[in-house]
Structure 1
C-alpha cells in the first residue's frame, strides 16, 4: 500500500468509527425512549438492562451503517478539496478515481460484511430482543394493560379504553377474551367498567366487572347446527374474575419462546418460510375450488355429455314452477340459498385469511431482499458522498452534515414508503426493498461523472448562455 493510500484510508477510518459510535448512541437513546414504558418501574437488574441494550444495538445497524458511510465520505473528501489536497494530487497526475480506489475496496468489504452481519447477528439478536421484551412484560403484569389495545394477562386477553385512579386500578369499557382448552376465542366478556384488586403477598389478581354481558359460543358436532352459530348470553351486574399469576413469579429472562418472526431468520430460514407460505396460499385456493365444486354439485355432472345433445334453452334461469309442488319448491330454494351463503362465507373467510398470509409473505420476502440491499446501499452511498464532498469542497461538521442528512432522509423515507406499499401489496416486495437503492443509484453515477470532470453539481452556463446569445443577437440587430 502506498503512502497516499494509507493516508486516505487512515483519515477515513479516524472519522468513520467516532461518527459511527455517535450516531449509534443517538439512535440507542431513541430506542430507550421508545421502550421506556417496558423498562421503567419494574425493578429490573442492571444486567437485564444491559442485555436489553445489547440486543437492541444490532437492529440499528441497517440505519447507522449507511448513514455513517455517507457522512464520512462527504466530510473526508470535502476536507481534501477544501484544503487543496485534491489539487496537489491532480498536479501529481492522481485522478479522483485513483484517490477513491483504496476506499472503494474497503467499502466493498464493508458491504460484504454488512450482508453477513444482517444474515447472522441481526436475526439472532432480534430473536433474543423480542423474547427478552416478552419476559420483561411478565415481571409486573398489572402494568401490561395498555389502553386501546389487547393485552395478555394470565389466561385472558383484555382490552380497556381508559385507566384511572391513584394506581390505575379502575378500568373503563372492558373487553375480555378467555382462553380455553380448545383453540379459538369462544368466550367474550364485555363490561362498562371494572376494578383491579390485588395483594403483594398473593399470586391472585381479582378483576371486578360491573354491568356487562357474558357471551359463550356453543360448539356443535352437527354441521347443520354449527352453521346456525349458537351462543349463550348472560347479563350481570357484577362479575368477579380471579386471575392466577403464580406461574409469572419466576420469569426466566433468557427463555426463547418466539423464533418465527421475519426479522429472526437468516436467508435459508426466510426462503423456507416463503416456500411454506406460498404453498399454503396455493393449497387453500385449490381446496376452496374443490369445496365450491362439491357444494354446487359440479362433481356429479355427467362430463361426458355431448354439447349437441343439450337442448337450446332461451331462458337464462331455470323455471321450476311447473315441475314441483310448493313444499319441494321451498326445499329447493332453501337448499340453494344455504349453499350460496356457505360458498360466499367460505370465500370471504379464505380471502381474509389470504390477505393476512400474503401480508406476512410480503414481509418475509422484503426481509430477504433487505439483507442484500444493505451491503449494496453502503457501496452506492459511498459513491454519492465521495464525489459530492469533492464538488462542494467543504469539510468538517457544518454543511457536509446538513447535506448528508438531507440525502439520507430522502433515501430513508423513500424506503419507508416503498416498504409500507409493498406490505399492502401495492408494489412487489422486491421493489419495496430495492426502490430507494434504485433511486439513489443514478445520482451516484451522475455525481461521480461530474466530480471526475471537475464540474459542479449543475452547470448553470448551459441554461444561461442560450439566453445571453438570444439577447445578444437581438441587440446587434437593433
Structure 2
C-alpha cells in the first residue's frame, strides 16, 4: 500500500469512529427519552437495562451509519484541504477519484457488512428488544405509597397510608381494604397505627407487618341481607404474606414476535410477501363475488346471468316480486318480506365488513413487509451515497473540525430523512409502490453526489463566498452598463 493511501486512511478512521459513537449516543438519548416512562419506577436491574440498550443500539445502526459516513467524509476531506495536503496530492498528479480510491474501498466493505447486519443481526435484536419491552410493560411498578392516596396496584387490595418515612420506610395511619376473596364476597378492613409493607426478594409475596391496629372482617353468603356476620379483632402486631403477581420480571419467548416484518430476513420476507399476496387476492375474491351472487343479486338476472347465479340449473331461479305485485299482499306478509330483506341486508353488510377488515390487515402487513424488504437493500446504497456526497463536499469547502461539517451533514441528513419518511409512509398506506417510496431518496440524492464529484474534480469554487461576491459585483457592474445604454437618449438633429 502506498504511503499516501495510509495517510488518507489514517485521517479517515479517526473521524469515522468518533462520529459514529457521537451519532449513536444522540440516537440512544432519543430512545431513552421515548421509553423513560416505562423504565422508571419498576425496580429493573442493571442487567435488564443494559440488555435493552444493547438491542436498541443494534437497531439504530441503519440510521447511524449513513450519517456517520457523511460527517466523517466531510471532516476527512475538509481537514486535508484545510492543511493543504489535498492540494499537494493534486499537484503531484493525483486526481480526486484516485485520492478517494482507498476510502471508497473501505466504505464499500462497510456497506456490504451493513447488509448482513440488517439481514441477519437486526431481526434477532428486534425480536429480543420487542420481547424485553413487552415484559417490562407487563411488569407492574414497585410499591410507591403517596401520603393520603390509595394504592391500587395489587388486585383485590386498596392501601392508603397517612405518611411514609423516606429513610426507614415506616408507614403511619395505615388503612387496607382486602377484597381478594371474590368468590365468597368476604371483605376485610384493617386499620393500624403503623407498619411496614415490603416486597419479598423474589417479588412474589407482599410482606405486611402492622402494629397496634384493628381487623374487621364481614362474612357474606347468599342471604347477606338477612344473614351476615362481622368479626372484630384487636392486635398489637400482625404479619401477613400476600401472594401477588406482576411485580417480578417474567421473560417471554422472543419467537412469539417472529411474525412481524422487522424480525424477518430477506428470505422470510419473500415468503411472507408471497403468502400475503395470495391472502389478499383470496379475501377480495371471497368477499365481493359471494356478496354479489348470493346476497345482492341472488335472484335478479338483469345484472348477473342465470348461468353465473345458478349454473345450468335454471329451474332454481325465481324472479323477484314486482313492486305492483306487493300491493295486494296482506300487511303481515309485507312485514314478513320487509323483515327478510332487512335481515339479508344486515347479513351481507356483516360478511362484507368482516372480509374487508381481514383484507385490510393483510394489506397492511403486505405493505410493511415490502418496506422492510427494500430497506435492507437500500441501506448499503445509502451509505455509499452519503460518502460520495460528503467526500467531494469536504474537498470543496476545505474546512475540517466539527463546526461546518456538522451543519452541512445535518442539512443533508434531514433532507434524506424527510424524503425517506414520506416515501415510506406513502408505501405503507398503499399510495405508492414500494420500489418508488423506498428508493425515492436515492433517486433524488444520486444526481447531487454526481454533481458534487464533478465540481470537486474540476476544483470549482462552489462554496467559496469570495467567488460569489466577485460574481455578484461583476453582475451589478454589467447591469449598470446595460442600463446606462438605455438611459442615454440620442440627440435630436434637425435639417433646415
* Normalised TM-score (structure 1): 0.72
Separation in structure 1 between the aligned mates of residue 245 and residue 415 of structure 2, nearest angstrom: 50
Is 1:22 matched with 2:22?
Answer: yes
* CA deviation vs aligned residue, 1:204-257 (integer Å, no higher than 9, x gap): 99xxxxxxxxxxxxxxxxxxxxxxxxxxxxxxxxxxxxxx96587562367643
Matching residue of 2:152: 169
* 1:100-179 superposed matches below 5 A: 100-140=100-140, 166=149, 169=152
Matching residue of 2:343: 338
Matching residue of 2:64: 64
CA contact (8 A) 1:164 1:170 kept: no
Matching residue of 2:357: 352
* CA deviation vs aligned residue, 1:19-70 (integer Å, no higher than 9, x gap): 2122212322332232222322222232222211111111010111001000
Change (3 A) 1:200 1:329: same
* CA deviation vs aligned residue, 1:84-120 (integer Å, no higher than 9, x gap): 1121111111111111111112212211111111000
Q: Secondary structure at the match of 1:272?
A: helix
Matching residue of 1:80: 80
* 1:216-295 superposed matches below 5 A: 246=245, 251-252=250-251, 256-292=255-291, 293-295=293-295
CA contact (8 A) 2:126 2:262 kept: yes
Is 1:475 matched with 2:458?
Answer: no
1:403 to 395, 400, 408: 408
Matching residue of 1:303: 307
1:378 to 377, 383, 395: 383
1:437 to 414, 435, 442: 442
* CA deviation vs aligned residue, 1:431-458 (integer Å, no higher than 9, x gap): 3322222222221111111111211337
Change (3 A) 1:128 1:97: same
Separation in structure 2 between the aligned mates of residue 384 and residue 85 of structure 1, nearest angstrom: 20
Matching residue of 1:224: none
Aligned length: 390
CA contact (8 A) 2:142 2:247 kept: no
RMSD: 3.7
1:427 to 412, 432, 445: 432
CA contact (8 A) 1:135 1:255 kept: no
Choose 97-106 or 134-143, whichever is displaced more: 134-143
Give the deviation of 1:473 after TM superposition. Answer: 4.1
Change (3 A) 1:397 1:248: closer
* 1:176-191 superposed matches below 5 A: none
CA contact (8 A) 2:273 2:369 kept: yes
Choose 30-39 or 358-367, whichever is displaced more: 30-39
Unaligned runs of 5+ in 1: 144-162, 172-196, 206-243, 306-316
Give the deviation of 1:126 after TM superposition. Answer: 0.7
Q: Could you say which structure has the greater relative contact order, defined with CA pairs below 8 angstroms and 6 or more residues apart? A: 1
Give the deviation of 1:471 after TM superposition. Answer: 3.7
Give the deviation of 1:386 after TM superposition. Answer: 0.7
Q: Secondary structure at the match of 2:93?
A: coil
Q: Secondary structure at the match of 1:43?
A: coil
CA contact (8 A) 1:16 1:72 kept: yes
Separation in structure 2 between the aligned mates of residue 432 and residue 245 of structure 1, nearest angstrom: 50
Separation in structure 2 between the aligned mates of residue 394 and residue 442 of structure 1, nearest angstrom: 23
* CA deviation vs aligned residue, 1:446-476 (integer Å, no higher than 9, x gap): 1111111211337858887666545424435
Change (3 A) 1:106 1:164: farther
1:457 to 455, 462, 466: 462
Separation in structure 1 between the aligned mates of residue 260 and residue 62 of structure 2, nearest angstrom: 17
Give the deviation of 1:341 after TM superposition. Answer: 3.0
CA contact (8 A) 1:320 1:329 kept: no
Give the deviation of 1:403 after TM superposition. Answer: 1.1
Separation in structure 2 between the aligned mates of residue 338 and residue 255 of structure 1, nearest angstrom: 46
Choose 398-407 or 58-67, whichever is displaced more: 398-407
Separation in structure 2 between the aligned mates of residue 294 and residue 361 of structure 1, nearest angstrom: 29
Choose 371-380 or 334-343, whichever is displaced more: 334-343
Separation in structure 2 between the aligned mates of residue 255 and residue 404 of structure 1, nearest angstrom: 37
Matching residue of 2:159: none
Change (3 A) 1:257 1:351: closer
CA contact (8 A) 2:283 2:358 kept: no
Is 1:34 matched with 2:39?
Answer: no
Q: Secondary structure at the match of 1:347?
A: helix
Separation in structure 2 between the aligned mates of residue 463 and residue 272 of structure 1, nearest angstrom: 60
Separation in structure 2 between the aligned mates of residue 395 and residue 14 of structure 1, nearest angstrom: 13
